[in-house]
Amino acid sequence: MFQLALNYGNGPILLREIAKREDISVRYLEHLVPLLKSAHLINSTRGAKGGYSLAKDPKDITLKDIIQILEGPLYPSECVQIPSVCSRSSFCVSRNVWVELEQSISKTLNNYTLLDLVNQYRNNAQKEDVS
């Protein structure tokens, strides 16, 4: 998703190019694509100039959006989402910690967009060029 954000507005990019840039396998990316497409986060284009691109502006895609699609719910324990799975949920002090942890994780991931990552990357690259 980061590579698609870096390339946003420049047309589709091939999976093999993303794999090369990120040093991961094309096969792994092929498993992620259907999830991201069904969530309407990426588009695919066929043909000679085909490939993948973001379906939305990078400023409109949070890290939470991506992680929830690829990893599922962010709950560290099932009782956070469904208190009824545990008869002790109403008085369990551990559950309170899990709820607070989930809220912190969600807040942090919601605070970052793909555009934020692209901007950080470009700022770091500029600093590296100056050095």
- Is residue 64 predicted with pLDDT exceeding 90? yes
Which domain CATH number covers 6? 1.10.10.10
The answer to whether residue 52 is domain-embedded is: yes
The answer to whether residue 24 is domain-embedded is: yes
The predicted model gives 56-82 an average pLDDT of: 92
Contact 49, 16 (CB under 8 A): no
The pLDDT value given to residue 48:
83
- Is residue 106 predicted with pLDDT exceeding 90? yes
The pLDDT value given to residue 74:
85
The pLDDT value given to residue 128:
80
How far is residue 62 from each of residues 5, 59, 96, 108, 117, measured CA to CA in Å?
A: 12, 8, 26, 10, 10
- Is residue 131 predicted with pLDDT exceeding 70? no
The answer to whether residue 120 is domain-embedded is: no
Which residues, 6 or more positions from 44, have their beta carbon under 8 angstroms from its beta carbon? 12, 33, 37, 50, 51, 52
13 bridge partner residues? 52
Q: What is the domain extent for residue 2?
A: 1-57
